[in-house]
A = this chain, B = another copy of it.
Amino acid sequence: MKISTRFSDSIHILAFINIYQGVIPLTSNNIASSIETSPVVVRRLMSALNKAGLINTVHGAADPVLAKSPENISLYDIFLAIEGDAHLFTIDERTNPQCIVGGNIQETLNGFYQQAETAAKAKLARTSLQDVIDTIRVKQAIKDAEKERRN
């Protein structure tokens, strides 16, 4: 199983809430316009983010808010909220237990995969939503300066 765009869309939602709060109404419709998906998809993801305690939403009302400061929300927190205990690598569960290889490969690969996965997740854990927002703003500032230069 590959990690779906749900993860990247969720980070998008959280960054959007932070950057556009007070600027435009934070309805699922407005957020969906930025992701170019449907409002239902956005609400589905926000429901998971809400349950995980990353945002606070109110049934019937727009304008969700981040439940913590962006410095204290890591990409791994978001990953957990959306993908739960999903794995980056998949192990074939149906191998012949009679065979030396088939009978031991699952446990064996599980160990090595776990290590690789943990390395990746540790990186995610060390990256905050604030890092993402900062990078977005810097990239936008560069674009704005470019545009200005051309005038």
Contact = CB atoms under 8 A, between A and B. Distances in A.
A35 B95 contact: yes
Interface string A1-33: 111110111011001100110000000000001
B2 A104 contact: no
Contacts of A4: 1, 90
A66 B32 CA distance: 51
Interface string A76-93: 000000000011111110
B19 A100 contact: yes
Nearest to A14: B101
21 contacts: A2-B87, A3-B89, A7-B90, A8-B90, A9-B92, A11-B105, A12-B101, A12-B102, A36-B96, A36-B102, A75-B112, A100-B136, A100-B137, A101-B136, A104-B140, A104-B143, A105-B132, A109-B132, A112-B123, A112-B124, A120-B120
Given A2-B89, A34-B99, A35-B92, 17 more contacts: A2-B86, A4-B90, A7-B90, A8-B105, A11-B109, A12-B92, A12-B102, A16-B99, A19-B101, A34-B95, A105-B132, A108-B132, A108-B139, A112-B123, A116-B120, A116-B123, A119-B119
Interface of A: 1-5, 7-9, 11-12, 15-16, 19-20, 33-37, 75, 86-92, 94-96, 99-105, 107-109, 111-112, 115-117, 119-124, 127, 131-132, 135-137, 139-140, 143
